[in-house]
Structure 1
Amino acid sequence: MANAAVHPAARRLRLLLSPLKSRIYVPQAEPAATFGTAVTSAKVAVNGVHLHYQRVGEGEHAVLMLPGMLGSGTTDFTPQLQSLNRKRFTLVAWDPRGYGMSRPPDRDYPRDFFERDAKDAVDLMKTLGFKQFSLLGWSDGGITALIIAATFPSYIRKMVVWGANSYVTEEDSRIYEGIRDVSNWGEKTRKPLEALYGYDYFAKTCDKWVDAINQFKHLPEGNICRHLLPQIQCPTLIVHGEKDPLVPRFHADFLLKHVKGSRLHLMPEGRHSLHLRFADEFNRLVEDFLQ
């Protein structure tokens, strides 16, 4: 603790819980036409579980949106489902197994949980009839997107990732420990997740996630998927919020260096949930990149 006053990670930890208040987008009341009758909310059997997804749009360009830890299509991508161009794109937002409405089963974290999510996501899109699609991956969903792009290249058109990292450092581990106790989270973040999961499941799953993500710190170079980055072939846009308290800038720079032909877009005021707080700017950026 003696170093806390001077270490950059410690300063981030003091600010950590405040930015988390914008982690969950709580949609305001909208006219029924916001989604219209074209929205599908359903479950489908994939790899021995029933995965929930939301689908909207009629465009020939399919886009899969991958949420972060404890996330779902509703909590993590409502502004994108509402506002991205539905004539140009067909949007699919999924709940990974154990998250959102893709329960049962309860969420668990074997060593290969990111790879398992990657296979589930691709098999979901195949089950829905998509032969190619683009990826929007946030946080843990960004890690899953990187793995998908590297291991299933023939399916992927383009990819946008933000708040993602391909390895874990000691600095990252200190940040993760700062969010282990969900009772310290801001109420605006905690309450929607408590409503979705119940407090016990929410708290237990977050605790298990911190243990699971910390395990990568003990692997060579803290590797999650850094060894796969050179295999990524699709056009890739990396977005990074300069004020992100959860994922330091060096992770975005590493992705830029090791994903061939990728581009980095910095948002000076962006935090971890930049696509929620600055939804209009983010959506324009995504549409311009994907078209």
Structure 2
Amino acid sequence: MYLSHLIKKCMNRNICRRISFSTQAQVQERLVYVDSQKINYLKVGKGPKNIVCFPGALGTIWSDFKPQIEGLNKEEFTIFVWEQPGHGKSRPPERIFTSQFFQEDADTGYKLVKALGLRSFSLLGWSDGGTAGLILAAKYPEVVEKLVVWGSNSYISTEDFENYEKIQNIDSWSENAKAPLLELYGEKLLREIQNSVFEANRAIVNQGGDISSSLLKHISCPTLILHGAKDPLVSLEHPLYLRDNIKGAKLHIFPEGKHNIHIRYAGEFNDITTKFLLGEDLSEL
């Protein structure tokens, strides 16, 4: 009863309050209300450098960033992972995705870090999370110290959308990819959310395909772009475009990598990312 009252009070007053609950490995996830929107996030580590991780489409804290939560140095970093509105436990309400959902996630992510009291942070963004991260870094350069993105893009081409069509139906997904999302969302809702994201991407293509290409020139923080050479969703043209249009950006290719390089090659990924965030030499990239 008190918990329900507290939630309503937070929403009515449009302020942020934290409600803790236990999760795997004795790590605490928390709920915070931002503009009356429930946001689920995780905080681990006690290092002086803040990292905020942005999951991909439909992604959650543990499905998308388990190797980083467990593998990154907790003495060097304090790691925050959040679930965007409509993802994981950042619901209800269920979200209707529109052609502006990347911009919405960037703005909500900015409000979240301000609510958490972070003056600055490094942003790690995978896939759709990285796409939103590009917008955040361009719009709010004062808070982003460094940017790492992979499997991300600043526009959607006709070819990209054709690739999306191939996986639009969840029946085409591997069981490993589908099982945790089915457990979280249930089959009916998972199909509805996937269809909503797909139609939002279609709307972006119909409007010309641009997401943030015109904003890349405003990204001023050191930027590292990682990419799997065999990524079936995001072609090599996208990381090359980002490298060429973000001042000083570095690009590292995983020759055998696909879309989930941070999971499949977690050790190498964490090592490269750590060196970049700590300012160590990456001249070989």
Normalized against structure 1, the TM-score is what?
0.86
- Give how far 1:138 is off: 0.3
Q: Name the counterpart of 2:113.
A: 125
2:161 to 150, 173, 182: 173
Residue 188 of structure 2 is aligned to residue 192 of structure 1: no
2:47 to 52, 56, 59: 59
Q: Name the counterpart of 2:242.
A: 255
Alignment of 1:34-53 (within 5 A): 39-53=27-41
Q: Name the counterpart of 1:157.
A: 145
In structure 2, what residue type is equivalent to 1:92?
Answer: F
1:288 and 1:64 map into 2 onto residues whose CA distance is: 17
1:56 and 1:74 map into 2 onto residues whose CA distance is: 13
1:214 and 1:233 map into 2 onto residues whose CA distance is: 30
SS at match of 1:287: helix
Q: Name the counterpart of 2:101.
A: 113
Deviations 1:228-283 (A, max 9, x none): 00110000000010010000000010000100000000000110001001000000
Residue 227 of structure 2 is aligned to residue 240 of structure 1: yes
1:140 to 117, 128, 135: 128
CA contact (8 A) 1:35 1:82 kept: no
Q: Name the counterpart of 1:290.
A: 277
1:236 and 1:287 map into 2 onto residues whose CA distance is: 13
2:70 to 58, 82, 89: 82
- Give how far 1:35 is off: 5.0
SS at match of 2:142: helix
The CA RMSD measured in Å over matched residues stands at 1.1
1:275 to 262, 271, 282: 262
The change in CA–CA distance for 1:35 and 1:87 in structure 2 (over 3 A counts) is farther
- Gapped runs of 5+ residues in structure 1? 1-33
Residue 206 of structure 2 is aligned to residue 224 of structure 1: no
Q: Name the counterpart of 1:6.
A: none
The runs of at least 4 aligned residues of structure 1 exceeding 2 Å deviation read none
1:217 and 1:41 map into 2 onto residues whose CA distance is: 36
CA contact (8 A) 2:99 2:201 kept: no
1:125 and 1:84 map into 2 onto residues whose CA distance is: 20
Normalized against structure 2, the TM-score is what?
0.87
- Give how far 1:121 is off: 0.9
- Give how far 1:185 is off: 1.1
1:81 and 1:107 map into 2 onto residues whose CA distance is: 26
In structure 1, what residue type is equivalent to 2:268?
Answer: E
Deviations 1:90-118 (A, max 9, x none): 00000000101101111221232111111
CA contact (8 A) 1:43 1:52 kept: yes
Q: Name the counterpart of 1:95.
A: 83
Q: Which has the higher contact order (CA 8 A, sep 6+)?
A: 1
CA contact (8 A) 1:245 1:272 kept: yes
1:184 and 1:223 map into 2 onto residues whose CA distance is: 27
2:218 and 2:206 map into 1 onto residues whose CA distance is: 24
1:35 and 1:157 map into 2 onto residues whose CA distance is: 29
